[in-house]
């Protein structure tokens, strides 16, 4: 995080900024602070301002050090037709939304392949042991990618948008800084928090191959434009300048992620 921030300050061309906090947890602070707190995500009722996270500078647990190279690897690996026609997700199944997805997979294995990776996760070292399938292999193999948040926000979301695969995004309360620029059924396909409409979304995509291609194209254009390391540094510079103009008391200003699932956002005809 400090690498990104220091480069952003250099981009601003100033060494004079009011003090601020950086919350590196997966969740914003519940309690307010008298000065700006930048965080990995923003949540309704919290004052933390969402900012680009550490993933843009590499992700030790996911075994990569160069964000842009990883994004390009995911895009290149998924450029060809998938080997598997299902929707895929894997991760540590430690919240209700992920558990619902794994149960959906067990009931409908022909449409969804969701894998609980807890047995391969070593809490002492913070890494996955055994067979580790990187995101580019996942994107190369499966037709659709599913994203569900973990303890807070989802660090992999920004990478999956680079894939030549439709992203099925499960509803969540946690909003990263770029959420306000994303549109359902343009950059991703929304899924209810309990995955109850996931099969319906998959069926809609299979029945609308033109829309599937359009969504992939829009998502990749957005990712290549807004979700790069350079763009993340520029966003940090913008946020730090807003922090300065706010007298060191910048509050969350991220737009709300559109509600998904149920009667909130339905698939277009």
H or E stretch at 139:
helix 135-141
Q: Are strands 127-128 and 121-122 parallel, antiparallel or unpaired?
A: antiparallel
Beta carbons of 67 and 133 less than 8 angstroms apart: no
Specify the pTM. Answer: 0.89
Helices (H), 31-152: 67-77, 96-107, 135-141
β-sheet bridge partners, residue 166 = 144
pLDDT tens, position by position, 127-150? 555 556 889 999 999 999 999 998
- CB neighbourhood size of 95 (10 A): 15
* Distance of alpha carbon 87 from alpha carbon 143, whole angstroms: 6
**Domains of the chain and CATH, by start:** 2-53+229-245 (no CATH), 57-226 (3.40.50.2000)
58 near 231, Cβ under 8 Å?
no
Cross-strand bridge partners of residue 144: 87, 166
Which helix (H) or strand (E) segment holds residue 89: the answer is strand 84-91
Per-residue model confidence as pLDDT tens digits over 155-194: 999 999 999 999 999 999 989 999 999 999 999 999 999 9
pLDDT at 208 over 70: yes
The beta strands (E) that lie in the chain are given as 21-23, 37-39, 49-50, 84-91, 112-116, 121-122, 127-128, 142-147, 166-170, 189-191
Instruction: Look at the chain and count its residues.
Output: 269
Q: Please check the confidence at residue 253 and state whether its pLDDT lies above 70.
A: no
**Residues 49-82 pLDDT 10s:** 999 999 999 998 888 999 999 999 999 999 999 9
């Amino acid at each position: 995080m400090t690498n990104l921030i220091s480069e952003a300050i250099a981009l601003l061309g100033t060494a004079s900024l009011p003090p601020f906090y950086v919350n590196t947890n997966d969740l914003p602070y519940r309690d307010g602070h008298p000065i700006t707190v930048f965080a990995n995500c923003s949540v309704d009722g919290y004052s933390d301002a969402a900012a680009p996270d550490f993933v843009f500078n590499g992700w030790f647990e996911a075994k990569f050090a160069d964000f842009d190279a990883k994004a390009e690897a995911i895009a290149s690996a998924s450029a060809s037709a998938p080997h598997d026609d299902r929707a895929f997700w894997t991760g540590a199944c430690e919240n209700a939304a992920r558990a619902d997805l794994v149960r959906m997979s067990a009931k409908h294995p022909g449409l969804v392949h969701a894998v609980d990776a807890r047995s391969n996760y070593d809490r002492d070292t913070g890494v996955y042991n055994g067979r580790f399938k990187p995101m580019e292999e996942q994107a190369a193999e499966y037709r659709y990618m599913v994203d569900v948040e973990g303890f807070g926000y989802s660090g992999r979301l920004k990478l999956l948008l680079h894939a030549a695969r439709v992203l099925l995004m499960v509803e969540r309360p946690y909003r990263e800084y770029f959420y306000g620029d994303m549109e359902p059924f343009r950059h991703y396909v929304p899924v209810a928090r309990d995955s109850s409409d996931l099969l319906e979304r998959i069926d809609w995509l299979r029945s609308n191959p033109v829309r599937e291609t359009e969504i992939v194209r829009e998502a990749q254009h957005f990712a290549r434009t807004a979700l790069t390391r350079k763009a993340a540094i520029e966003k940090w510079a913008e946020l730090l300048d807003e922090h300065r103009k706010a007298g060191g008391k910048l509050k969350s200003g991220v737009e709300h992620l559109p509600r998904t699932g149920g009667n909130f956002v339905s698939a277009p005809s």
